[in-house]
Amino acid sequence: MKYTELRYQPEKSGIYVGSPSLLRLPDGALLASHDYFEADPVSNLAPRISEIYRSEDGGASWRNVNHLSGALWGSLFLHDDCIYHLGTDREYGSIVIRRSRDGGFSWSDPQDERTGLLFRGGPGRTGPNYHFGGATPVAVHRGRVFRACELFSEPDGRFGWDAASFRETILSAPDDADLLNADNWTLSRPLAFDAEQLNTIHPGLAGQHSGWLEGNLVTAPDGSLANLMRVHLNTPNKAALLEIAPDGSDLSFRPETGIIDFPGGASKFTVRRDPATGLYFTLSNPVTMPECPWQRNILSLCCSGDLRNWKILKNLLTDDTGLPPEESVRYTGFQYADWEFDGDDLIYLVRMSYRGARNYHDSNRITFHRERNFRRAASPDSGAN
């Protein structure tokens, strides 16, 4: 397997690497970020650290140029000739944004509501608990900047994680406003996943632990803004499609049509629309072993013409360790990929559990990859599924 490694974290450290984010800059340089997490959930409540890297040679080599203290689940995006990093300060913490005016070498510090502290989280896991989960797309649409966000509530008083514990909301601001000023940002009315409502239309599809998170904001074919979400259901390879009000104040879900077939929809994925073809592309983890709905040992390139009907074009990464299938799904993960268009190529970063990881989830590598001439796989004569 060929890749360029930005970071390797030894298993014995008890610290793991996550949330890769990738950005292509106008000068041709590439910028990347990632964070760290631990198996102990209490440790993740302390302010987290994110690393910033630059590449001047198309991703062949990388240099660690800075780190951000109090930064987790960040998305890099470019707006008005500035780079921004939007995330939280810790797990389920405050929403914070930073700005760089020099290509990612130096960054502003979100000390208060005038300098990037957008929404204050509660202490520990006392609400409000804000969640992004990883790098998800930031969209600029009809005069506003948008990113999907979740509110997390402790599952049944337990200190744990459950997909049913998330409510979806939309974070947005006018695109001509000072993005470091909290007064310019709003959160939409939160929308909870309703298993009972969904099961009236699709009996048995949702269970006690079903829920949605880590949404992708993308312009739909009709010009509206849509939110395509990771969803945990009793059947794998599904996603949820939510509708968003033009001003970002509200979002809605239609149970009759809102659940679609989607390869790997139970793990985080990133969707972007190709300006050259109008097609939608994603890198996702299709579940080929239904008895293992957490499966992340395959990373596939998929596409759609309408956001609703998806096909797998090709597998980009598969496990070459020689592990039997039941062991491979336990120890190997090519997950949380973030990616960009780069001319005729698709470039991507992967949170990788590979050769020495504690398990498929607790990643030991952040890696860079390039898929050359990726659009060929989407041509009518490509033979894609």
Sole residue written with tokens 């405050």: 94
Structure tokens at 363: 């990643």
147-178 pLDDT, tens digit each:
999 999 876 666 678 999 999 999 999 999 99
Res 154: pLDDT: 77
| pLDDT confidence tier of residue 235, bands split at 50, 70 and 90 | very high
Q: Please, what is the Cα angle at 226 between 341 and 338, to 5 degrees?
A: 30
Sole residue written with tokens 């007064």: 183
Sort residue 383 into left (φ over 0), alpha (ψ -120 to 50) or beta: left
Higher pLDDT, 383 or 324: 324
Res 210: pLDDT: 97
Q: How many CB atoms lie within 10 A of CB 110?
A: 24
Average pLDDT, the chain: 95
Sole residue written with tokens 């990373």: 299
Res 45: pLDDT: 84
Res 158: pLDDT: 63
Residue 44 reports pLDDT greater than 90: no
Res 157: pLDDT: 60
Average pLDDT over residues 322-345: 98
For 197, the 3-state DSSP assignment is helix
d(CA 360, CA 257): 32
Average pLDDT over residues 25-46: 92
For 209, the 3-state DSSP assignment is coil
Res 187: pLDDT: 97
Residue 380 reports pLDDT greater than 80: no
Residue 35 reports pLDDT greater than 70: yes
Residue 381 reports pLDDT greater than 60: no
Q: Alpha carbon 123 to chain centroid distance?
A: 25
Residue 384 reports pLDDT greater than 80: no
Res 251: pLDDT: 95
d(CA 304, CA 302): 7
User: Which of 259, 41, 14 minimizes the C-alpha distance to 162?
Assistant: 41
Res 377: pLDDT: 95
Res 379: pLDDT: 78
- Residue ranges with strand state E in 286-364: 298-304, 310-318, 333-342, 345-353
Res 41: pLDDT: 79
93-128 pLDDT, tens digit each:
999 999 999 999 999 999 999 999 999 999 988 899
Res 156: pLDDT: 63
Structure tokens at 239: 């996603």
User: Which of 356, 281, 375 minimizes the C-alpha distance to 9?
Assistant: 356
Res 33: pLDDT: 98
d(CA 231, CA 166): 11
